[in-house]
Amino acid sequence: MARITTYAEHLFALETLMQALRDILRLPLEPEVFLDHLIEEVFFFDRSLNLLQRQIERHAELADYKSLLHSAGRARIHFSRLIEDILRKGSALNLTGTSAEKRLRVLQEAQEREVERLKGLISSQEGERDVVSPEEISKLLSPGEED
């Protein structure tokens, strides 16, 4: 039996992975061992969040649409905090003045802008009622039609 994974589960999994990396960053790590992998993980999170958010935004008809937008925003906040932890002065990774630092700062700023955009999108949904269009009603009431 095929299992359907929801957007919420994907976002939860990403947040869990981000938190695990934040916990790992508390250890005295050798940059030569972990830095490349951490940077790869950061770009994985960026790609994954962008993909999931685009998919969610295309499906405003979902019953939990606003909740998913909130979850996407929360995941982006977690992502921004992960980047902040990686960039923190005094961390074992010490990226100060490197090209990696610049790239991560750009990503962090992008997360903050995206959180603000999501807040606006959520606000625009306030007060909107769930309305079923006439086409949807016809489709739901039509006997025997399958997608």
At 58, which amino acid appears?
R
Would you say residue 143 has pLDDT above 80? no
**Secondary structure (3-state) at 128:** coil
CB 77 within 8 A of CB 115: yes
Sorting pLDDT into bands at 50, 70 and 90, what band is 11?
very high
Residue 9 pLDDT > 60: yes
12 or 5: which leads in pLDDT: 12
DSSP characters over 58-87: T-TTSTTHHHHHHHHHHHHHHHHHHHHHHH
At residue 70, the pLDDT reads: 92
Give, in degrees to the nearest 5, the angle at Cα 9 between 6 and 13.
145
Which residue has better confidence, 52 or 128? 52
pLDDT band, very low/low/confident/very high, at 2 (cuts 50, 70, 90)? very low
Q: Is the pLDDT of residue 121 over 70?
A: yes
Given pLDDT bands bounded at 50, 70 and 90, which one contains residue 44? very high
Does pTM top 0.85 for this prediction?
no
**CA dist., res. 33 & res. 47, Å (int):** 23
What mean pLDDT, rounded, does the chain reach? 83
By CB atoms closer than 10 A (0-12, 13-18, 19+), residue 45 is buried
pLDDT digits (tens, 9 = 90+) for 57-110: 998 888 888 999 999 999 999 999 999 988 886 666 777 777 888 899 999 999
CA torsion sign, 103 to 108 to 113 to 118? Answer: positive
8 within 8 A of 64, measured Cβ to Cβ: yes
Nearest to 110 by CA among 31, 16, 44, 46: 46
